[in-house]
Amino acid sequence: MEFHHLTQFVAVAEELHFRRAAVRLGMKQPPLSQSIRRLEVLLGITLFERSKRSVSLTSAGIVLLDEARRILKQVEQTREKTKRAASSGEHRLRVGFTPISMFTALPRVVQQFRARWPHIEITLEERQTHPQIELMKEGKQDVGILYRHSNDSRGLASLLIERSPLVIALPAKHPLTSRKRLELSELSHEEFVSYDPTLNPDAHSMFSAACRHARFVPNVVQYANQTYTILSLVANDVGIALIGKNARSIGLRGVVFLPVTGIPDDLNPQTVLAWPTESNLPGLRPFIGLFEEVLQAEAKRSRPSRSVRN
C-alpha cells in the first residue's frame, strides 16, 4: 500500500462518488477506479459496495477510513512541523550541566557542535542532577550532563562520560599529606566540608553512603553548594572533603588530593550524558554522536604510545 492509495481511498469514501472524487483529486475517473480496485486486490478485501446508482463503504472500508484519516493527519502534521523548522532556519537544544561538567568534554563538544551545526541553537543551564532529571521528564530540558545515581531515571538513556573515583582533599599543611593513600575509616575523627544536602542532595548522599560503608558518621562542620567553594574551604583549613577526583581540574592552591580506599565502586561518581529515550529532536542525535566522537578521540590520545623496536 502506498501513500497515494490512502489519499484516493479517502476521497472516494468521503464523496461516495467516483466522478466527484476524481474531480477533487484532479484526475480522471477511470484511473481512480482502477487504483481503488488494485488497493482492494492488494488488501484482499472489498472496500466499497458498488451499484449503477450508488457507492457505499463495507464494514472493512469503514475501519480503513478511520485509520487512513489518522495516518494522513499525522503525515500532514509532520509536513507542517518540517516546513516551520525549514522556514525558521533554527532549532534549539537545551543542555543542562552540573558545575563540575565544565571540566569534562562538554566545552569542546559545544564548540565543535556550534561550528558544524550553526543553525541549531544550544542553550546551557547549570543545574544539579535531580532537577535535570525532572526537567527532562517534563520536556523542559533536552539533554543533560549529570551524575549517575540511584534516583528514578526511568525513561532516560545515557552515555558514560567519565568515571571519577572519590579522593580525599586535604589542606596543604595537614599531617596526613605525607601519606600515599588513605583508608576512609581512618578519617572518622576528622572534620569534613560537604555538599549542602538541601541544594545538592545527590552529591551529599553519595558522601554519606561512603562514610556509612566505612562505619562512621562524618562530623560535617561546613556545607557548601559548589565544588570550588568546598575546595576553598579545605584550602583555608576549615576541614577535609571527600570529593570526586575530577575536582583536581580546578587547580586550586593549598589543597592536596590523596587516593582513598575502602569505597565500593558503585559509590564512586560517574558522569553521564542523559536524554529522554523517546526524544526525536533534530539536534539531539548529532549532539550525542559528537560527544561519542570527542570521547573516543580523547581516549585515544590518553593511551600510552608503544615504542617500536627495530
User: Each residue of 279-297: pLDDT tens digit?
Assistant: 888 889 999 999 999 988 8
Of 6-15, 45-54, 143-152, 197-206, which gets the smallest average pLDDT?
143-152
User: Model pTM greater than 0.75?
Assistant: no
Domain 91-163+269-301 has CATH 3.40.190.10: yes
- pLDDT of amino acid 149: 59
Quick check: do 91-163+269-301 and 166-267 share a fold? Answer: yes
Burial class of residue 178, CB neighbours in 10 A (0-12, 13-18, 19+): exposed
User: Each residue of 169-213: pLDDT tens digit?
Assistant: 999 999 999 999 999 999 999 999 999 888 888 788 888 999 999
pLDDT > 90: what percent of the chain? 38
Q: How far is CA 89 from the centre of its chain?
A: 23
Q: Which CATH number fits domain 166-267: 3.90.79.10, 3.40.718.10, 3.40.190.10, 3.40.50.300?
A: 3.40.190.10
Per-residue confidence at 101, pLDDT binned at 50, 70, 90? confident
Phi-psi category of residue 215: left, alpha or beta, with phi > 0 → left and psi -120 to 50 → alpha: left
* Predicted confidence (pLDDT) at residue 305 exceeds the cutoff of 60: no
Domain ranges of the chain: 3-88, 91-163+269-301, 166-267
CB 12 within 8 A of CB 55: yes
- pLDDT of amino acid 53: 84
Q: Comparing 301 with 255, which gets the higher pLDDT? A: 255
- pLDDT of amino acid 307: 44
The x, y and z cell numbers of residue 294, run together, are: 570527542
* Predicted confidence (pLDDT) at residue 78 exceeds the cutoff of 90: no
3-state secondary structure the chain: CCHHHHHHHHHHHHHCCHHHHHHHHCCCHHHHHHHHHHHHHHHCCCCEEECCCCEEECHHHHHHHHHHHHHHHHHHHHHHHHHHHHHHCCEEEEEEECHHHHHCCHHHHHHHHHHHCCCEEEEEEECCHHHHHHHHHCCCCCEEEEECCCCCCCCEEEEEEEECCEEEEEECCCHHHHCCCEEHHHHCCCEEEEECCCCCHHHHHHHHHHHHHCCCCCEEEEEECCHHHHHHHHHCCCCEEEEEHHHHHHCCCCEEEEEEECCCHHHCCEEEEEEECCCCCCCHHHHHHHHHHHHHHHHHHHCCCCCCCC
Cα angle 81-125-133, degrees, rounded to a multiple of 5: 80
User: Each residue of 206-215: pLDDT tens digit?
Assistant: 889 999 999 9
CB 242 within 8 A of CB 210: yes
What value does the mean pLDDT take over residues 122-147? 90
pLDDT > 70: what percent of the chain? 92
Q: Which CATH number fits domain 3-88: 1.20.200.10, 1.10.10.10, 3.40.50.1110, 3.30.470.20?
A: 1.10.10.10
* Predicted confidence (pLDDT) at residue 87 exceeds the cutoff of 60: no
Q: Which residue(s) pair with 54 in the sheet?
A: none
User: Each residue of 15-34: pLDDT tens digit?
Assistant: 888 889 889 888 898 998 99
* Predicted confidence (pLDDT) at residue 117 exceeds the cutoff of 50: yes
